[in-house]
Amino acid sequence: PVKSSEQLADYIIQEGLIKLRNPHINEKDEDVLYHIALSNKSHDLKEMFQDIKFVCFGGSPTRMQKFAEYLVTELKVKIPAGQTLSNIAQGSDRYVLYKVGPVLSVSHGMGIPSLSIIFHEIVKLIYHAGCSDVIFFRIGTSGGLGLEPGSVVITDKAVDGLLRPYMELSTLGMVLQHPSNLDQEVTEELLALADPEKDGYSTSVGKTMCTLDFYEGQARLDGAFCDYNESDKMSFLSRVYSRGIRNIEMESLCFAAYCYRAGLRGRAVVCVTLLDRLKGDQITTPHEIMEEWQSRPQKLVCAYIKRKLGIE
C-alpha cells in the first residue's frame, strides 16, 4: 500500500540533526554526490561542511557566485591570503557550490527536474556532514501579477499550474503527491526585515504558481506554439490572481515539497518579479536594471542571515 507524504512525515528532526529518510544510503560504503563532484569517501564532508546553517539556492550559476561574493563582504568572512572564493563543485559543470562561513550558495538551474537533482544531493551532503538546524532558501526570479516590476514576493503557499498545493511525482509507475508546505515563521521574519520606504520597492507575501513550462505553462502568447488567444490568457491570469497568486516561476513547488519531506523546519522562497504578466509576456528591461532587481531577494535573505548570526 502506498503511503502519502503526509503519512510518511513521521519525522525526522532529532535535536535539530537532519535524519535521512532513506535506509539504503547507510548500507553502502560510499555515497557519490555525482552532480557536485563530492563523495563521503573521497572527502571529509564533516570537516568541510559541519558548520553550515543556511543553504541558499538560486537558478543561475553566476548569480549564486555573486551572492557568495556579497556574503563574504556582508558576513565579514576572511578568505586566507592567496586564496579566492572557489566553486566547490567545479569537478562537475552542472551546478556551482560556494561556502561562505555557515552559508552555502548553490545554483539549481531552471525547472523542477534540475532543482530536484541538486536538492537530493545537498540534503545528503548536509546529512553526511552532520549539520543541525539548517534553514533553506530559494532566491530567484519570477513573473509578477499586478505588481510593479522589481517587487519582491515571499511565497506563503506554492501551488502547481492547477493551483494544487502539492507536487506530483511519478514513482514506480504511481503518481505520488508531496505536499508543498512552507514555513510561516521564516516568511514573517523575512517580511519584517523589508522596508518598502527605505528599499524603494515593495516586498509582500503571496501565493506562487509553479509551472512546468515558461511559455504555455505560464499562459504566454510569445512561445513557438500557442493554441489560445489574448482573452483566454487574460481570463486565466485574472482567475489565478483572484485566487491569491502574486507570482509565477518554475521551482518553488519542488523546493517546498522536498524541504518538507526532508524535515527542514526553516524554509522560504523569495523571488523578485521581472515583469507584470497582466501587462505583457516579454522581458525587455535593460541588463543593469535587471541585475539590481535580482540582488533584491539576496539582500533580504542576507539581512535575515545576519540577524540570526547577530551581525550588525
Binding site for ligand R2B (CB under 6 A): 59, 110, 140-142, 214, 249-251
* Region binding ligand URA by CB under 6 A among candidate stretches 86-94, 186-194, 228-236, 248-256: 248-256
CB of 211 to ligand URA, least distance (A): 7
CB of 140 to ligand URA, least distance (A): 8
Question: 98 pairs with which residues across the strands?
Answer: 105
Closest CA to 55 of 158, 154, 155, 126: 126
Continuous segment of H or E residues that includes residue 104: strand 103-107
Q: 267 a known binding residue?
A: no
The single-letter code of the amino acid at 138 is R
When binding is defined by CB under 6 A, the residue of 190, 194, 245, 248 that contacts ligand URA is 248
Closest CA to 183 of 246, 135, 111, 131: 135
Between CA 75 and CA 301 the distance in angstroms is 12
Are the CB atoms for 176 and 5 separated by under 8 Å? yes
By DSSP bridging, strand 38-39 and strand 32-33 are antiparallel
Give the x-and-dash track for 181-220 against ligand URA (CB under 6 A). ---------------------------------x---x--
Maximum distance among all alpha carbons in the chain?
Answer: 60
CB of 108 to ligand R2B, least distance (A): 8
CB of 305 to ligand URA, least distance (A): 24
Instruction: Note whether 111 binds ligand URA by CB under 6 A.
Output: no
Are the CB atoms for 244 and 165 separated by under 8 Å? no
When binding is defined by CB under 6 A, the residue of 18, 103, 253, 274 that contacts ligand URA is 274
Residues at the binding site for substrate are 218, 220
Residues at the binding site are 94, 138-141, 218, 220
